[in-house]
Chains A and B, each alone.
Chain A
Amino acid sequence: MQINGEFKPLIVAFCCNWCSYAGADLAGNNRLAYPENVKIIKVPCSCRVNPMFILRAFQRGADGVIICGCHPGDCHYTSGNYYTRRRMSLLFSMLNFLGIEKERTRVEWVSAAEGAKFAATMNEFTEAVAALGENKRLEDLRCKR
């Protein structure tokens, strides 16, 4: 997304309800700033994130997608994030195999107590994605008309 000629990457963050969404709230409580272009979607557990959602986000114009969940071992549903970890390991490796910049996708474990980590992660991720420029490799030109 270009704003006043400056590239602001659009970041979609899928956050699990129990840890990471609460972590994002904590970042808010502590007024820890991160870029406006980070938009959070709440899911019950990171394991709810279907690879199709990620591709859909890229299709529609996202420049980066991050999935945040409880730390391994702390999943509210005991094992959800373990599946997330496997699924995303394989999916991201595949995207990389297809030549899609690996810096555009990330999984980060953020607990409900890690507001600071949430904000720092978003700042850092946004910066990394900004450095890559616009998402061209998984874009759908029809959505950019």
Chain B
Amino acid sequence: MQKINSTMLIEKAAQLLENGTADRVLGWKKGEFDYDITPAVFNSVDQIKKEFVFGDFCGANLSKYLVKETRKGDGKVAVFLKPCDTYSFNQLLTEKRFDREKVYAVGISCEGMADIFKVKQIAGDGIVSVSSDGENVKVETLYDGEKTIKLSDVIAERCINCKSRKCVAYDELMGEEGEIIDSDRFDMVSKIESMSEDERFGFWQNELSKCIRCNACRNVCPACTCEKCVFDNPDSCAQNKAPADSFEEKMFHIIRAFHVAGRCTDCGECSRVCPQNIPLHLLNRKFIKDIDTFYGEYQAGAQVGSRAPLVDYTEGDIEPGEAVMKGESENA
């Protein structure tokens, strides 16, 4: 299968503007280096031809921008969605966060995105250029010249544990539809579950104490599209700006995870953007794993309109006491 590349997307994006399908395009824009790519709204074919880019460093999930972007004027917004982004897209639709009619979605197949920090760890400082051919990554550095790394060695952690390469929503698909993957994404959650209580506490105390409350996790999260977040609302009894006590770090992350429980599609953006490298996705995954164990498998965003587990129930649901025990021991 041919890997989706910049040229193909540029052509598509330009075509969508030219033929009037959309009047603006959400995509990715070239950065200063080869890896610092910014999500951007493109308004003209010129701009697309000049600045649009797609490659191994286009990890950003564009679906959340649709909430804001569809509110601007009447025209349609074209958006490029990787498989994991399509789940977020569906979840946003389920929650009626934007008007489907105002969006032209192009699904693009994805084999996993690269993580620049992994590249830097291997290739060292001073990366002048980085490019990949789908198998190898060629890195040129200031100090050590050119190096070739296997792409598979620098694939982002979240993509290694990819749950699905299937585009679940699109008006048009580029590349193959992809398949749902039997991933090992819960391994780390299981590992923590099998730790002792003290170890678990130690692990999270250490991780969460790094939090600087920059809100990047929240602001990037496609499930966190609240008009006003409780943590920003002085009337919510929960507002705070900085973790002045270790309690507040926990409070913020527990409540945030709880608010997206059953709605989180496990896109992994939270961990990707955390400047302190806190594995925040593990909190969300714990909820996903518990939901799967307690109430049957549920993938948020797999279908538009599906009923999230927290706004649903059955008469025979597991009791909380039992659930806690099960949540600890179900490491299968």
A and B in direct contact, judged by CB atoms within 8 A:
yes
Interface residues of A (CB under 8 A from B): 51-52, 55-56, 58-59, 72-73, 79, 82-83, 85-102, 105-107, 137-142
Alpha-carbon distance A80/B60, docked complex (angstroms): 38
Whole-angstrom distance from the CB of A70 to the nearest CB of chain B?
A: 13
Chain B residue at minimum C-beta to C-beta distance from A88: B320
Q: What is the count of residue pairs linking A and B with beta-carbon distances less than 8 angstroms? A: 127
A residues in contact with B261, CB < 8 Å? 90
Of B255, B290, B312, which is within 8 A of A89 by CB?
B290
Contact A140 B291 (CB under 8 A): no
A residues in contact with B310, CB < 8 Å? 83, 86-87, 90
Chain B positions 226-277 with a Cβ under 8 Å from a chain A Cβ:
230, 237-238, 244-248, 250-251, 254-255, 257-258, 261
Whole-angstrom distance from the CB of B209 to the nearest CB of chain A?
A: 12
Alpha-carbon distance A85/B295, docked complex (angstroms): 12
Contact A99 B258 (CB under 8 A): no
Alpha-carbon distance A102/B327, docked complex (angstroms): 11
Q: B315-332: contact bitstring with A at CB < 8 Å (1 yes, 0 no)?
A: 101111101101110000
Which 8 interchain pairs have the tightest Cβ spacing?
Answer: A99-B201, A93-B327, A99-B200, A89-B323, A82-B313, A140-B247, A107-B320, A88-B320
Whole-angstrom distance from the CB of B231 to the nearest CB of chain A?
A: 10
Whole-angstrom distance from the CB of A94 to the nearest CB of chain B?
A: 6
A residues in contact with B326, CB < 8 Å? 93
Q: Is the interface of B mostly helix, strand, loop or mixed?
A: helix
Chain B residue at minimum C-beta to C-beta distance from A81: B313
Chain A to chain B contacts (Cβ below 8 Å), 23 pairs: A52-B237, A59-B251, A72-B317, A79-B313, A82-B314, A82-B317, A83-B310, A85-B313, A85-B320, A86-B310, A86-B313, A90-B290, A90-B294, A91-B254, A93-B290, A93-B326, A94-B287, A94-B290, A96-B197, A97-B204, A98-B204, A100-B201, A102-B328
Contact A73 B315 (CB under 8 A): yes
Q: A86-B309, A86-B313, A89-B318 are in contact. Are A98 and B201 (CB under 8 A)?
A: yes
Contact B315 A82 (CB under 8 A): yes
Contact B197 A101 (CB under 8 A): yes
B residues in contact with A85, CB < 8 Å? 313, 317-320
A residues in contact with B313, CB < 8 Å? 79, 82-83, 85-86
Q: A56-B237, A85-B317, A138-B247 are in contact. Are A102 and B295 (CB under 8 A)?
A: no
Contact B197 A52 (CB under 8 A): no
